[in-house]
Structure 1
């Protein structure tokens, strides 16, 4: 209710996937703030490694509550030995953005553009052959995400691997993409093509085929996020029918 209320009153958006609340993982935590019987604040904590903690806050414009939640997050990060805290905030959430800037604790890191597919577009299939990732593909996917041939081995949880599709050429994985499905919505994450295979139209074929299949499966909302400095990717997504929905700014601090 708090999320929907703030969206209606202030037009704020929040980077919280619908799967987040049902996903049971040691990497996901929730902070709830109550004032007597009134629910006045919520913080979502998520981490992909042991160094950085991602934070999304949903709260009424109240500096005292925000300050208390901020300190709770910092204490949590210290207790669990995180090195950095990364706050994610809608650029239009002027109250929270101003608080972060005025605190003097955080530095701007980067921005992401959240894009939503215009499902009125009839996107033809590219007939690109994708297959579900297997356990033995973990190292190759890690290397893709690291952007190197010898990426540091990263454990990929079985639940994430089951949502990952790969594209192979001559038996080698040259691209991977993860789909987070929830009800009639689907988020596209972790889409990466091997550096030496970029610029050959492979990415376009993959994303086109994926979106086409999701449309067949009747997903009413298909979305993804891309860094605002990645002009080639943003151009690709726009060209097949994705439209800008919101800009998220990331602010980091050392714990």
Structure 2
């Protein structure tokens, strides 16, 4: 999207969000689109953007999120945009197509009843509250290097169930995201995991936090999170992260480090031919 479209989208989001919820539009991704694939579907009435659906490629799956201005609902605009986006997603033969709706959004849930899909999981968006954290000198966190490529790919395969082809494509794509920084985690001289931090508008968002299965359950995760949070806090950032609710263990880890839930996003897997 060009600058005007991004500005129009910001205004549409502002006018569309109602009540105590927010839409997950992945602004860092929207601003770094390279235009190779059609991922954004927009509907204008005159000069006003009134409808939007976006596709987001996360390696093993395509996620979809969108909205329509309250004054233009029940006109079939959103249905047309979703169908157009679904056609594009199906052409890519993604393993899974996931539709996203804010947890408290009744209108979103009502719309999804008309789509052949099944509830898959919930994701919690969390913000860090000032909490005393301990430093851990036995854990080293350093910037990723080119020589870490295979480790990053294997972490996505083993921890996030990416197929190898998907993991390699995802690794190549995120190299072009200017605000995203990948950090590698070392324990006892061995690289055991990674964590990604994205900076935007005075906020630091934590993504892709993964530790090889054989090193999990040893307290490394809490030590890493404490170091990252302390570093980002000292740099003056508000700190956020996202975690799937089905991972109760991870949710507890983040809560113990001072994170509190702000929003819940519900995800539904599209079931082609079930409707």
TM-score after normalising by structure 2? 0.81
1:95-126, Cα deviation, whole Å (9 max, x unpaired): 0111102x1411111111111111x3343433
Distance in 2 (alpha carbons) for counterparts of 1:238 and 1:57: 29
Q: Note closer, same or farther for the CA distance 1:28–1:214 as it changes in structure 2 (3 Å cut).
A: farther
Q: Note closer, same or farther for the CA distance 1:112–1:214 as it changes in structure 2 (3 Å cut).
A: same
CA drift of 1:177 comes to 0.3
SS in structure 1 at match of 2:123 = strand
1:208-240, Cα deviation, whole Å (9 max, x unpaired): 100100011101x21111111211111111111
Structure 2 counterpart of 1:191: 209
Distance in 2 (alpha carbons) for counterparts of 1:99 and 1:152: 34
Moved over 6 A (4+): none
Aligned-residue CA RMSD (Å): 2.3
Q: Note closer, same or farther for the CA distance 1:168–1:160 as it changes in structure 2 (3 Å cut).
A: farther
Structure 1 counterpart of 2:102: 90
Structure 2 counterpart of 1:18: 27
**Residue 131 of structure 1 pairs with residue 142 of structure 2:** yes
Q: Which runs of 5+ in 1 are unaligned?
A: none
Structure 2 counterpart of 1:243: 260
Q: Which runs of 5+ in 2 are unaligned?
A: 1-10
Q: 1:179 pairs with 176, 179, 197, which one?
A: 197
Q: Note closer, same or farther for the CA distance 1:131–1:83 as it changes in structure 2 (3 Å cut).
A: closer
Contact 2:21 2:263 in 1 (8 A): no
SS in structure 2 at match of 1:187 = strand
**Residue 57 of structure 1 pairs with residue 66 of structure 2:** yes
**Residue 105 of structure 1 pairs with residue 116 of structure 2:** yes
Within a 5 Å distance, the mapping from 1:65-80 to structure 2 comes to 65-80=77-92
Within a 5 Å distance, the mapping from 1:197-236 to structure 2 comes to 197-219=215-237, 221-236=238-253
Contact 1:160 1:178 in 2 (8 A): no
Distance in 2 (alpha carbons) for counterparts of 1:199 and 1:82: 32
Contact 1:27 1:47 in 2 (8 A): no
Distance in 1 (alpha carbons) for counterparts of 2:219 and 2:177: 26
Aligned length: 248
1:73-99, Cα deviation, whole Å (9 max, x unpaired): 122223444454211111111101111
Structure 1 counterpart of 2:5: none
Distance in 2 (alpha carbons) for counterparts of 1:245 and 1:178: 20
Distance in 2 (alpha carbons) for counterparts of 1:203 and 1:160: 25
CA drift of 1:191 comes to 0.3
Contact 2:54 2:85 in 1 (8 A): no
